[in-house]
Structure 1
Amino acid sequence: MAEWSWVAYTVLEVLIAVACCLGNVLVVCAVCIGIRDSLREPTFCFLVSLAVADFLVGVAAVPLAVLLDGWVSVTPDLCLLLSCVVLVLTQASVLSLLAIAVDRYLRLHIPLRYKALATQRRSWMAVCVCWTLACLLGFTPLFGWRNYSPLASDSTNTSSPSFIPPPCTFLSVISLPFMVYFNFLGCVIAPLLVMTVLYTRIFWSLQGRLKESCPQAQASLLREKRLACSLALVLILFAVCWIPLHLMNCLLLYHGPKAVTEGTLYTGILLSHANSAVNPVVYAYRFPKIQQAYSQIWRRFVMNINCFHGDKQVCRSRTGSRVHHTETCGSGGKTTP
């Protein structure tokens, strides 16, 4: 690509990284602090897991994507390790989405047993399982499925003391057959197909129940349907943002390096990273609880800024509200979150 294209690509990656970090930190704060008892619900636990993965995309995956483009010269082993980090974060997102789909399916189809099964402890255990599997699947190239031989690289270093390692690039260490057959078909497409089946059954079941239920039960079913639509939207956006890049890998594998232009490839990379920045926006518009938590966090932020700049009236009103809250709690009253 031309020099101006590299500059534009780097600037866009920086903007995406900043959006990923700020947006997903806000999501975690909204769920963990702004929504009372939200972490008792498995869906919010898995949303936090997804937000953490998206945050780490901004902190680690995007900078590594820029560096792993021939800008640094490191040993092949270190280059491989850094490349695998990107795969781990992608897999963590996929497994978090799968856990959300399974959770909604169980909530709808076994409502009586669901509360006993979906405890807070088991929810966090499921999150740990997702991240453990993500590490095992993402670090698979470390166990042998890669583009270079460690023995060959060691012999090169031994025979040439002044040997300078080649620039580190993602595809110089990650095998295209691995990306297509294992990562794309096994670790992305297979979970996406399972999630598609689950959400199809969820919507089909909800549609049937809405027709047969009484007006009192319809309100709860409609809330469940809106939540399922919002979660399905997150899934669709993931597929739209990630599948183009994987399809480009398929073209590169079957038709060679000339099958995809550099500009198209880097557009696919930007699109995949942008998915992590878009999710917090979806949560803000589609999840009323998170939207309310965003508003509370924003109001607290504005009040802190006003207090910092010496707005005594705002500080007095804030202190008065705290005193009122304390007195209410002390008298046994209840306050709204």
Structure 2
Amino acid sequence: MMETPMEAELCFPLLVNASCSKTQHSQPIAAYLLLSAISLITVTLNLLVIISIFHFKQLHTPTNLLLLSLAISDFLVGFLMLFQISLLGGCWFFGDLMCVVYYIVDHSVTSASIGSMVIISVDRYMAICDPLRYAVKVTKTRVDISVFICWSSSFVFHSLCSIDALKQPGRFNTCVGECVIVVTYAVGMTDLFLSFMGPIAVIVVLYLQVFIVAVSHARAMRSRVGNEGLHGATKSSELKAARTLGVVMVVFIACVMPYFCVVISAQDVALNASSATIIICLFYFNSCLNPLIYAIFYPWFRKSIKLIVTLQILKPGSHQANMM
């Protein structure tokens, strides 16, 4: 049976009187391709980080465990983008309960990703600003506990925020094929503070301290004559770490700022489909850049990629390989 023009524009043509209508985009193919590319790259890069840290025993350090947490959260963000891509057409095909579950998982994973970045910034702060006591204060046990708290608190918080939606999935939908989750103003502002304002404040403060220490050490090294060897290497390492952290901070803020600015002033801002797609892409693109910023600058990551791509990791004893 041929579909009528009206039925072709519906999410569920069989439910003529109840189905939502598809959204018409000016450039739908470009939006689908862009988000699909970001999703694929995000999943691939973070999967490489996950395999590297899991497989090679030498990489089982506290700092790399934090990178692993970040990579897992960003990997899931890339996977969940598939649902966001499906929503570009204006239709939700997975049911009311899955809509709520997707909202909870998506926001929880994103919060865990940002939380992991905060913990990594604390780790780098300790390593650069208090190197003598770093090994004592930053242990695998404490890192495991921090990661567990980060992930569990994210899921608990967003589950509690959506408790009413879980009890009555689809209560705010106006038609079949819609995915609408409504939270109170207090909950929304709390989420905004915990997921953006708070982490940004912590990261900025810690990075400023790192820059101050790096600059002071660099000046101290320049003032010394005849102490180039070890001191020169230390200065170079600290400055490199400071520059890397600066890139992290700028990229993170640049990617997430537009999204949260829209969230803060959502009632006063009207976005067309193209603008909304760009903002969403920027937000998710941060998870794509994280493995590049945090891992690709490490020599062990480049070496592990080569071993993974060439299937050298399948050889017996490959997990004992020297990665440094």
Corresponding residue for residue 59 of structure 2: 38
Aligned partners of 2:147, 2:247: CA distance in 1, in Å? 21
Corresponding residue for residue 241 of structure 1: 255
Kindly state the Cα deviation for residue 100 of structure 1 after the two structures are TM-superposed. 0.6
Corresponding residue for residue 293 of structure 2: 282
Q: Deviations over 1:61-85 (max 9, x none)?
A: 2022234454225664542221122
- Stretch of structure 1 that moved more, 184-193 or 194-203: 184-193
Amino acid at match of 1:237: V
Aligned residue runs from structure 1 range 97-112, under 5 A = 97-112=117-132
Q: Is the 8 A contact 1:245 1:269 kept in 2?
A: yes
RMSD: 3.4
Amino acid at match of 2:178: C
Corresponding residue for residue 184 of structure 1: 192
Corresponding residue for residue 124 of structure 1: 144
Aligned partners of 1:112, 1:303: CA distance in 2, in Å? 35
Aligned partners of 1:33, 1:19: CA distance in 2, in Å? 21
Alpha carbons of 1:289 and 1:73: their partners in 2 closer, same or farther (altered >3 Å)? closer
Aligned residue runs from structure 1 range 1-337, under 5 A = 2-3=24-25, 5-34=27-56, 36-40=57-61, 42-59=62-79, 61-68=80-87, 70-72=90-92, 76-144=96-164, 150=168, 153=171, 166-169=176-179, 172-175=180-183, 177=185, 181-213=189-221, 214-215=227-228, 216-253=230-267, 255=268, 259-283=270-294, 285-298=296-309, 300-301=310-311, 336-337=322-323
SS at structure 1 position matched to 2:92:
strand
Q: Deviations over 1:165-201 (max 9, x none)?
A: 63233xx214384685223333212111111110110
- Stretch of structure 1 that moved more, 78-87 or 197-206: 78-87
Aligned partners of 1:19, 1:335: CA distance in 2, in Å? 27
Q: Is the 8 A contact 2:96 2:170 kept in 1?
A: no
Q: Is the 8 A contact 1:74 1:166 kept in 2?
A: no
Corresponding residue for residue 330 of structure 1: none
- Stretches of structure 1 lacking an aligned partner (at least 5 in a row): 157-162, 305-317, 327-333
Corresponding residue for residue 6 of structure 2: none
TM-score, scaled relative to structure 2: 0.77
Aligned partners of 1:179, 1:263: CA distance in 2, in Å? 28
Alpha carbons of 1:274 and 1:68: their partners in 2 closer, same or farther (altered >3 Å)? same
Kindly state the Cα deviation for residue 89 of structure 1 after the two structures are TM-superposed. 1.4
Kindly state the Cα deviation for residue 239 of structure 1 after the two structures are TM-superposed. 1.8
Query: How many pairs are equivalent?
Result: 293
SS at structure 1 position matched to 2:91:
strand
Q: Deviations over 1:83-113 (max 9, x none)?
A: 1221111101111000011111122333333
Aligned partners of 2:51, 2:149: CA distance in 1, in Å? 23
Corresponding residue for residue 307 of structure 1: none
Aligned partners of 2:138, 2:239: CA distance in 1, in Å? 20
The share of aligned pairs that are identical, in percent, is: 22
Aligned partners of 2:313, 2:94: CA distance in 1, in Å? 48
Alpha carbons of 1:166 and 1:141: their partners in 2 closer, same or farther (altered >3 Å)? farther
SS at structure 1 position matched to 2:101:
helix
Kindly state the Cα deviation for residue 3 of structure 1 after the two structures are TM-superposed. 4.6
Q: Is the 8 A contact 1:87 1:139 kept in 2?
A: no
Aligned partners of 1:142, 1:109: CA distance in 2, in Å? 40
Amino acid at match of 2:67: L
Aligned partners of 2:142, 2:214: CA distance in 1, in Å? 26
SS at structure 2 position matched to 1:167:
coil
SS at structure 2 position matched to 1:168:
coil
- Stretches of structure 2 lacking an aligned partner (at least 5 in a row): 1-22, 222-226
Aligned partners of 1:13, 1:205: CA distance in 2, in Å? 40
